[in-house]
Structure 1
Amino acid sequence: MKLFVMLLLTVSSFFPVSAQQLEGEISYEQVYHWTQVYSRLSFISQEEKDRMKLTWGNDDESKHDMVLYFNEKQSYYTYPKTEDVSGGYSGRNREYKIYRDFENGKRNDVIEMLGKTYIVEDTLQEINWKVMNKIKEVAGHMCMMAIAEDTIKKQKITAWFADDIPVSAGPELYSGLPGVILELDINDGDIVTTAKEIKLKPLTEDINLPKKQKGKKINTAKYEEMMIMHIRDSIKAHRNPFGWGGLPY
């Protein structure tokens, strides 16, 4: 514990905290390594896994961008807007809007999965993070390592958080650390979400919950129940439970 405190103070000394650092937006790149993802599926034989590695080689990656808007009290994580040549916005991603209200301890997630759009409304549950004595630089900020486990999806979660930006926000469904999460690693490299650019500035994006939301409202317990059933049924039917049409990985 003493070593952790010393490391934390050392990291904090690199970047002085100011009021401006508690508001802004972070652009992330999310990289899927599909060979690793599929290699964890129990119904795929070792021969098939070896064939995938030979076929895909180093070209098994798929990438897309995400964005996190945040201030001291709340955050909003989603796909970035993309402009078409006519000046409007084009393209369609699945519905994926993650709202966090840290001040009141609330979650509100709009997630398209299993052919429907769900609104997960509930209290914000604490993640059992374990802070490790490791640091590294991410997007120009010194970050500390924290680990946790997703017991529903059976995934190891590794987060690198910057305590010089003391906001509890993070990408995907993860938050609750004493600094914003700048890198999130699922299952030792299956999917890695890394901050590319950090803009500490007054927000222009509205991160408040919209007054009207389309989707079926459920709570955390129902959401987790649906995940457990879908994963079980998909594995039994030799299908990947994640990806488009399934669960967010």
Structure 2
Amino acid sequence: MEFDKPVVGGPCWAELGTSDLEASTRFYTEVFGWRMRRDPRLASGGYSLAHLGDAPVAAITPLYQRSQPVAWNVSFAVADADAAANKVVEAGGTVIHGPRDIYDEGRFTIALDPSGAAFQMWQAREFSGAGVFNRPGSLGWVELVTRNPRRARDFYTSVFGWSVNASEWYTQWGLHGEDFGGVTAMHDRFPADVPPHWLPYFAAEDVDATTDIAVRAGAKALLEPTSLPDGLRIAVLRDPQGAAFGLYRSVQES
């Protein structure tokens, strides 16, 4: 991701919904060195902000409904949450929560794309999103994992105005000439019961070493550290509660 701050239309935040807030906090603190701060307001239900230094980088939250899966969720910045929700519906998606105000911080929406992949939209007020990107332990890339890349392309370009940069082996999303994410097509290597989803990748100083730390802390490597044709080194892990996330390190960061 080339952005160093939230940009309207781009990813601005990632939050984990977990079945065990304390265990997830211990795990990610060990893996990324996050400093956690729980929101003291009763209505927040235990919402906890992860920091690198003084900068917020992600959140860990309890599950708010029994039907909610343990998963990482990606939020995209919008200028007007209500107008963006209307665009989602017009493009064939579904709004399942909101738009609603979150204290004075902003206005929040949860939606599904036409394939059922969940994503969030955030209209910033007092809180704009992640304070840093691309540093080890912070959000650096987002990837849509879907069984219908062509339909996804039509949907997301309509809703957010993203550009599409397609090579022989990968399709990337972009804004203002900067790529921030991509698309992976779900083929036979994905079990039939795995739904379409957004996968956040966190930057790592050393993908192999961070993978080792995560596995020792109870994670499972879904994709062992792998070098890609453009020089990126990535891994995909499942945390002890079942949420998938990625790691990456680029040539430019080496």
Instruction: Sort the TM-score into its range (normalised by shorter chain).
Output: under 0.3
User: When the two structures are superposed, what TM-score results if normalisation uses the length of structure 2?
Assistant: 0.26
Larger radius of gyration: 1
User: When the two structures are superposed, what TM-score results if normalisation uses the length of structure 1?
Assistant: 0.26
Structure 1 or 2: more strand by fraction: 2
Higher relative contact order (CA 8 A, sep 6+): 1
